[in-house]
Structure 1
Amino acid sequence: MAAPWRNPRTVLLFVGLLCLYFFWPSSSSSTPFTKFTSSSTDSASYYSSLDDDELASRVTRSEKIYNKLLEDRKELIKKHGPTPNDVALFPPDKDPWPAYTVWDFFPAAYNCPHEITRLGALGDGGKWVCGISRVEEKPDCIVYSFGINYESSFEAEILAHTDHCQIWGYDFSVRSFGPEIPLLQKSRTHFFQYGLAGSDKPDENPKMYTLETLMKMNGHTHIDILKIDIERWEFETLTALVKPYIASGKPLPFGQLQLEIHLWNLSFAEYLAWWESLEAAGLRPFWTEPNLVYQNYNRPGTSDLAEYSFLNTKGDNIFITNPKRRSEPERNRNVHGPTP
């Protein structure tokens, strides 16, 4: 009988075991979206394991991709314009119809540097989030949600995916969050029957406040995730919100924005100017989808509602930079905030 080590199968098995020994990743290595445990000694315990250089490289690369989109948009406007004032939103007289729509000019061309997760209902109510892993264990995670409509699947999934996120909800048309939020999680939610607007109107019914005023009421200086669905008031609200930040060059006070856009009674030129103000403030769309419920049932044949998710690419929010160590001041000392 031949010696076992002369058997080709034995040799191949031995070589395979050697490869496993030398090339199998050690238990100390980490992959891009590892959830760290609380045993970590610094703030790395609550963000994914991209190092500073890799994260900065991804953000820079995404900006280059988006800048190419800006040039393409100019060319598309020339083709169908040639000026913004000459572009129709939904041309009714093209064959085949429609030749293009307004959304073709504004694709979500920015690449989120982390995983993208849909949170909430698979339909109206769900939102796409960039890097929920970045706030899984973040101790001062803050979420604001405007427009509840008694449907809280999005907010409920944020609570389920994170350990510490506190959610502030606002909607003057309902009395509370929806039934999707379990009683055990009520301690991490705060609801008020206020509306979001471009100016403070505390004496009106319903009461309306700017985002800046509400943040001051709650003792917050930064929001990680901001959701806005306020039935076309997003134009007035965001126009007023971004204007001082564009003028000062300071970053907007939130990390990312989930926004439903209601394209009613606007010209293309008006919409373009509003969108470009969001871009000037540092917002970049990384995901979009049409509101198919509205499109198919409310107004068949139209596509004037769309969901967009934006990343704030200015400043040092948790989605574009790694946080400082715990020994330095946290961004939001007062996580719970005073009651408005």
Structure 2
Amino acid sequence: MSSMIFQRHPRYAILVFVLLAGTVWLLYSEGGHAGQSGPRDLSVTARVERAETIYQRTLKGRETLIKKFGPTPNQIAMFPPDENPWPPYTAWDFFPPAFNCPHERERVGTLGDGGKWVCGLSQVENKPDCVVYSFGINGESSFEAEILARTNHCQIWGYDFSVNSFGPEIAVADRHRTHFHAYGLAGKDNHGPDSDIKYYTLQSLMAMNGHDHIDILKIDVESWEFEVVTAFVEPFLRSGKPLPFGQLQIELHTWEKKFPDILEWWQKLEQAGLRPFFQEPNLVYNNYNRGRDQDLTEYSFINIRGDTAFVSPPKDE
């Protein structure tokens, strides 16, 4: 029946062909096919640039949301009470993970507590000088173990004063690529002879280890993250130099924090070139508190400035 229609109405057949061809072209050129975040043939640089364009629109949306519920940051509650009039937001609505990872995005490590969301682990699979820092071990190292298992050269430096080593997940064959110290991470050094716990800044630890870059930086330090990240980022903001790490996996503990403080801290990260590409609320904590507290959440950031394995084009691009 359809063949008869095409024979009797060739113009109709041509029109159908043109529409189908146009649809296929749009799917492949605009990333409309399933599982794609953009054009298949876009360079890494182009994917990052397009993701940044989208992210900048999100920043305008944040301004609009603040004016709607504020209208100033000082008037924004982190987690409004369930009262009338009921404001339909939480603090996390102002900080969506709106940046598209330019590579594969996956959870590395165990499902549940311990795993982290990473952008483009494949980009450091064979990197000869791959460096990973992990702050906050707490006896569980599935994240670090999977990085070691899936890369050929990555070395991991772990720090946690509450335990004596990495967790048991790390295979014996990979332990030669791990380095553990029972140190704490802080905004200022404090490691004198009278100190029960030795605290170091991230700058000091990098200098001690002879590192000028970190590919993947994981921080889970029970609310100290605001102080330590600020202390590390601010000198780079003053100098205009890019941050020396490729991406950041961090858990935020916003206990007793006010929205203007979180906003100011977050904007420093953005100014330094960090862009959130994933968020995962700590649902275990939320469940234990019967849904009353939502002030713990995981974020993953990618650094869009500088020469890193995750945003710099490969040599053959």
Gaps of 5+ in 1: 1-49, 326-340
Which residue of structure 1 aligns with residue 168 of structure 2? 179
Which residue of structure 2 aligns with residue 282 of structure 1? 273
CA distance in 1, matches of 2:261, 2:95: 14
Relative to structure 1, the CA distance from residue 279 to residue 75 in structure 2 (aligned partners, 3 Å threshold; closer, same or farther) is: same
Relative contact order, CA 8 A, sep 6+: which one is greater? Answer: 1
Which residue of structure 1 aligns with residue 19 of structure 2? none
How far has the Cα of 1:246 moved from its partner?
Answer: 0.8
How far has the Cα of 1:300 moved from its partner?
Answer: 3.6
Task: Give the root-mean-square deviation of aligned CA atoms.
Answer: 1.8
CA distance in 1, matches of 2:174, 2:87: 46
Amino acid at match of 2:225: E
Any idea what the Cα deviations from partners look like across 1:274-297, whole Å, max 9, x if unmatched? 111111111000000100111101
Q: In structure 1, which of residues 265, 281, 291 is the aligned counterpart of residue 256 of structure 2?
A: 265
CA contact (8 A) 1:52 1:322 kept: no
Which residue of structure 2 aligns with residue 61 of structure 1? 50
Which residue of structure 2 aligns with residue 92 of structure 1? 81
CA distance in 2, matches of 1:235, 1:159: 28
Amino acid at match of 1:201: N
Secondary structure at the aligned position of 1:100 is classed as coil
Q: Percent identity?
A: 64
1:174-323 matched pairs, under 5 angstroms = 174-203=163-192, 204-298=195-289, 300-322=291-313
1:68-83 matched pairs, under 5 angstroms = 68-83=57-72
Secondary structure at the aligned position of 2:165 is classed as coil
1:123 lines up with 2:123 in the alignment: no
CA distance in 1, matches of 2:96, 2:145: 28
Secondary structure at the aligned position of 2:203 is classed as helix
The normalised TM-score by structure 2 is: 0.84
Secondary structure at the aligned position of 2:43 is classed as helix
CA distance in 1, matches of 2:206, 2:40: 31
How far has the Cα of 1:140 moved from its partner?
Answer: 0.8
Which residue of structure 2 aligns with residue 148 of structure 1? 137
CA distance in 2, matches of 1:231, 1:251: 26
1:161 lines up with 2:145 in the alignment: no
CA contact (8 A) 1:90 1:98 kept: no
CA contact (8 A) 2:158 2:178 kept: yes
Gaps of 5+ in 2: 1-38
CA contact (8 A) 2:69 2:87 kept: no
Farther-moved stretch of structure 1 (291-300 vs 125-134): 291-300
CA distance in 1, matches of 2:266, 2:223: 14
How far has the Cα of 1:94 moved from its partner?
Answer: 3.5
How far has the Cα of 1:324 moved from its partner?
Answer: 5.7
Any idea what the Cα deviations from partners look like across 1:195-229, whole Å, max 9, x if unmatched? 11111111122101011110111111000000000
Which residue of structure 1 aligns with residue 123 of structure 2? 134
CA contact (8 A) 1:195 1:207 kept: yes
Secondary structure at the aligned position of 1:316 is classed as coil
CA contact (8 A) 2:133 2:216 kept: yes
Runs of 4+ deviating beyond 4 Å: 50-53, 95-98
CA contact (8 A) 2:45 2:313 kept: no
How far has the Cα of 1:301 moved from its partner?
Answer: 2.1
CA contact (8 A) 2:43 2:313 kept: no
CA distance in 1, matches of 2:176, 2:77: 48
How far has the Cα of 1:117 moved from its partner?
Answer: 1.2
Any idea what the Cα deviations from partners look like across 1:242-291, whole Å, max 9, x if unmatched? 10111111011100000000011111111100111111111000000100
CA distance in 2, matches of 1:139, 1:97: 54
Secondary structure at the aligned position of 2:102 is classed as coil
Amino acid at match of 1:174: V
